[in-house]
């Protein structure tokens, strides 16, 4: 009996090995075979060396193709480049749930990464993000190839990493990556047949840096070139609205890449990823050269059912009367106050305006209403924790609390920092600084810079740049400054002070953030 089991196990190993040998994605595009075939061999099953054994994000493909042109002499027209990137993202891309895990890096979000493997952390993320690696799926051989690739690309790599045994760490990192991110994954088996969404309407909810929370809608219409034209309207708590027109396309089934222009912005880039169930898109849009600005946004697909996108304003004070606007889709056109619910403490006096995409309501909040977040209901649509009830503004925070700006304006694009002052309530427990504190949103603060005494007499405040009353810090120019001691550049560190006086109060609330202003990221300049 044991012998039979043993031989079956051995057979399993052989079958698995055969399965692995058969791995590789056929390249069905004539264009890819024609343009890349001179160096990448095609086999009898239309698999191309290297190309058939890796899957990447659209940005990953773009970078590889750029390198083929920069280093290996590949000659491509921009139009062919776009077509090849589209084909490879469509058929050798990442699936929705694979893409979701690295989405933060694609949309240029500023986050602290968690690297789950020590060897990868030391050997790889000294130069680039973990997401650049986790955004790839490769056969074992293709992961192992990276050692030679890196040593050939960066001959000084081992010397730069002289504080550790880089080759040995690399030999640990790559097999781990091969186990973690193989070419064929369960997600690939499950989702690789998915197609991107067709034209339609999406509700949006987001936060634009420096401007605050908004809600709205965006419509996608099929364009003549096979992509989509878009039309978006975003409405802010102060009643203002901003429209934006644009275009874009789906790369693969779930990566939306677009551009737009509107009344307040000349050229914005849109980077969104679709969820695996096809119902929401998460991402950001930002001014073309300034990914550090712009907005984080969620798009909810509008289908036949009623849905709430958000409520404006999103925070009410105990005892207050207010007009609120709830945005959404497919609202019943004959809604009455009894069809809506904003929690126990808030009474709806009147529905003053109703349409399928919004309702305006007059409400008052009881003087003893419970402090905290309330769910809201409009007809059959529901949204958790959408409305905040508070008693008073207890403190403010300047966000981000620690920031890194970069000098620029001569050759480098400066990296700006948009500071925001947020009002906070101590929350139900009345104690500041813990998890139940309530963020009441952005408030208009006044802003000043203050010397941080790290280096005596360096007068950083005078040189690093300036802050506007909208909280936007603009760094000074890069390069040596003859006016400074030893003609050094304008880098330095300062405190950023915010001051805000809540309505009905005379005492201003104050806070500060720490700002480091550094030299440009010269690596970005080289690849421009």
How far is CA 410 from each of CA 371, 414, 475, 484, rounded to the nearest angstrom? 51, 9, 12, 18
Among 25, 35, 192, 361, binds ligand HEC (CB under 6 A): 35
What DSSP state is assigned to residue 259?
A: E
Both structure tokens of 248: 């874009």
Residues in 77-106 at the binding interface with ligand HEC, rule: CB under 6 A: 84
Burial class (CB in 10 A: 0-12, 13-18, 19+), 186: exposed
Whether residue 373 contacts residue 438, with contact meaning beta carbons closer than 8 Å, is answered with yes
Among 47, 58, 62, 68, binds ligand HEC (CB under 6 A): 68
The reply to whether 279 sits near ligand HEC by the rule CB under 6 A is no
The reply to whether 40 sits near ligand HEC by the rule CB under 6 A is yes
Cα 504 off chain centre by: 38
Which C-beta is closer to ligand HEC: that of 465 or that of 520? 520
The reply to whether 157 sits near ligand HEC by the rule CB under 6 A is yes
Q: At what angle do helices 58-72 and 78-91 cross, to 10 degrees?
A: 130
The reply to whether 443 sits near ligand HEC by the rule CB under 6 A is no
From the CB of 103, what's the least distance to ligand HEC, in Å?
17
Among 41, 126, 141, 222, binds ligand HEC (CB under 6 A): 126
The reply to whether 74 sits near ligand HEC by the rule CB under 6 A is yes
What DSSP state is assigned to residue 48?
A: B
Among 102, 107, 123, 324, binds ligand HEC (CB under 6 A): 123
| Cα-trace Rg, the chain | 27
The reply to whether 107 sits near ligand HEC by the rule CB under 6 A is no
Both structure tokens of 20: 């692995």
The reply to whether 73 sits near ligand HEC by the rule CB under 6 A is yes
The reply to whether 63 sits near ligand HEC by the rule CB under 6 A is yes
Alpha-carbon distance 203 to 451, whole Å? Answer: 44
Burial class (CB in 10 A: 0-12, 13-18, 19+), 330: middle
From the CB of 99, what's the least distance to ligand HEC, in Å?
15
From the CB of 72, what's the least distance to ligand HEC, in Å?
4
Which C-beta is closer to ligand HEC: that of 77 or that of 457? 77
The reply to whether 149 sits near ligand HEC by the rule CB under 6 A is yes
Among 5, 72, 162, 486, binds ligand HEC (CB under 6 A): 72
Cβ count near 194 (within 10 Å)? 15
For 21-162, list the strands marked E by DSSP. 54-56, 136-138
Which C-beta is closer to ligand HEC: that of 123 or that of 298? 123
Instruction: Considering only the stretches 167-175, 194-202, 447-455, 464-472, report the one whose residues sit in contact with ligand HEC under the rule CB under 6 A.
Output: 167-175
Which C-beta is closer to ligand HEC: that of 125 or that of 377? 125
Helix, strand or coil, per DSSP, at residue 421: strand
Alpha-carbon distance 250 to 299, whole Å? Answer: 15
Size of the site for ligand HEC (CB under 6 A): 37
Instruction: Considering only the stretches 119-127, 207-215, 434-442, 514-522, report the one whose residues sit in contact with ligand HEC under the rule CB under 6 A.
Output: 119-127
Which C-beta is closer to ligand HEC: that of 51 or that of 513? 51
Question: Side-chain half-sphere of 333: how many Cα atoms within 13 Å?
Answer: 2
Instruction: Considering only the stretches 173-181, 312-320, 359-367, 384-392, report the one whose residues sit in contact with ligand HEC under the rule CB under 6 A.
Output: 173-181
Q: What would the 3-class secondary structure string for 21-36 be? A: HCCCCCCCCHHHHHHH
The reply to whether 154 sits near ligand HEC by the rule CB under 6 A is yes
- Give 511's contacts (C-beta < 8 A, 6+ positions apart): 395, 396, 397, 398, 421, 497, 498
Alpha-carbon distance 383 to 254, whole Å? Answer: 25
Both structure tokens of 27: 């390249």
Alpha-carbon distance 3 to 49, whole Å? Answer: 40
The reply to whether 51 sits near ligand HEC by the rule CB under 6 A is yes
Residues in 174-193 at the binding interface with ligand HEC, rule: CB under 6 A: 174, 177
The reply to whether 128 sits near ligand HEC by the rule CB under 6 A is yes
The reply to whether 16 sits near ligand HEC by the rule CB under 6 A is no
For 195-345, list the strands marked E by DSSP. 200-208, 212-222, 228-236, 241-251, 255-262, 265-274, 280-287, 295-301, 307-312, 315-317, 321-329, 340-341
Among 54, 94, 405, 442, binds ligand HEC (CB under 6 A): 54
Instruction: Considering only the stretches 1-9, 65-73, 230-238, 317-325, report the one whose residues sit in contact with ligand HEC under the rule CB under 6 A.
Output: 65-73
Alpha-carbon distance 269 to 297, whole Å? Answer: 13
The reply to whether 64 sits near ligand HEC by the rule CB under 6 A is yes
Instruction: Considering only the stretches 126-134, 440-448, 451-459, 503-511, report the one whose residues sit in contact with ligand HEC under the rule CB under 6 A.
Output: 126-134
Among 134, 146, 376, 389, binds ligand HEC (CB under 6 A): 146
Among 57, 95, 136, 452, binds ligand HEC (CB under 6 A): 136
Instruction: Considering only the stretches 101-109, 170-178, 388-396, 492-500, report the one whose residues sit in contact with ligand HEC under the rule CB under 6 A.
Output: 170-178
* Residues lying near ligand HEC in the complex (CB under 6 A): 35-36, 38-40, 50-51, 54, 56, 60, 63-65, 67-68, 71-74, 84, 123-124, 126-128, 132-133, 136, 146, 149-150, 154, 157, 170, 173-174, 177
């Amino acid at each position: 009996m044991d012998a039979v089991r043993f031989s079956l196990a051995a057979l399993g190993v052989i079958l698995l090995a055969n399965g692995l040998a058969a791995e590789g994605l056929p390249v069905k595009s004539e264009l890819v075979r024609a343009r890349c075939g001179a160096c990448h061999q095609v086999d009898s099953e239309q698999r191309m060396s290297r190309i058939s054994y890796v899957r990447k994000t659209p940005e990953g493909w773009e970078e590889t193709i750029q390198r083929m042109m920069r280093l290996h002499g590949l000659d491509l027209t921009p139009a062919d480049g776009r077509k090849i990137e589209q084909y490879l993202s469509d058929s050798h891309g990442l699936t929705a749930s694979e893409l979701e895990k690295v989405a933060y890096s694609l949309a240029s979000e500023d986050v602290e990464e968690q690297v789950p493997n020590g060897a990868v952390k030391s050997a790889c993320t000294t130069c680039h993000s973990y997401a650049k690696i986790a955004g790839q799926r490769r056969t074992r051989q293709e992961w192992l190839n990276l050692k030679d690739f890196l040593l050939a690309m960066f001959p000084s790599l081992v010397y730069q990493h002289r504080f550790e045994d880089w080759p040995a760490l690399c030999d640990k990192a790559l097999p781990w990556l091969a186990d973690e991110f193989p070419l064929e994954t369960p997600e690939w088996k499950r989702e690789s047949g998915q197609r991107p969404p067709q034209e339609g309407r999406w509700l949006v909810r987001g936060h634009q840096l420096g401007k605050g929370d908004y809600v709205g809608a965006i419509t996608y219409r099929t364009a003549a070139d096979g992509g989509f034209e878009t039309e978006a309207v975003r409405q802010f708590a102060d009643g203002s609205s901003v429209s934006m027109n644009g275009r874009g396309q789906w790369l693969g089934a779930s990566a939306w890449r677009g551009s737009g222009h509107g009344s307040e912005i000349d050229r914005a880039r849109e980077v969104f990823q679709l969820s695996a169930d096809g119902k929401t898109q998460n991402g950001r849009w930002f001014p073309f050269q300034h990914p550090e600005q712009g907005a984080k946004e969620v798009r909810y697909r509008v289908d036949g059912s009623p849905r709430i996108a958000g409520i404006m304003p999103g925070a009410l004070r105990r005892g207050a009367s207010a007009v609120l606007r709830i945005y959404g889709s497919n609202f019943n056109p004959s809604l009455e106050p009894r069809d809506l619910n904003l929690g126990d403490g808030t009474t709806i006096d009147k529905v003053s305006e109703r349409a399928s995409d919004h309702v305006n309501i007059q409400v008052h909040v009881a003087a003893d209403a419970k402090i905290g977040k309330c769910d809201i209901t409009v007809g059959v649509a529901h949204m958790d924790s959408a409305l905040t009830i508070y008693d008073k503004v207890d403190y403010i925070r300047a966000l981000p609390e620690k920031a890194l700006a970069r000098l620029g304006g001569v050759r480098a694009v400066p990296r700006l920092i948009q500071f925001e002052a947020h009002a906070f309530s101590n929350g139900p427990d009345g104690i500041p600084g813990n998890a139940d504190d309530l963020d009441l949103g952005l408030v208009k603060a006044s802003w000043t810079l203050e010397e941080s005494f790290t280096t005596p007499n360096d007068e950083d405040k005078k040189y690093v740049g300036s802050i506007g009353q909208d909280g936007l810090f603009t760094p000074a120019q890069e390069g040596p400054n003859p006016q400074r001691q030893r003609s050094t550049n304008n880098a330095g560190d300062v405190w950023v002070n915010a001051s805000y006086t809540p309505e009905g109060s005379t005492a201003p609330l104050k806070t500060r953030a720490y700002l480091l202003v550094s030299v440009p990221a010269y690596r970005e300049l080289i690849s421009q």
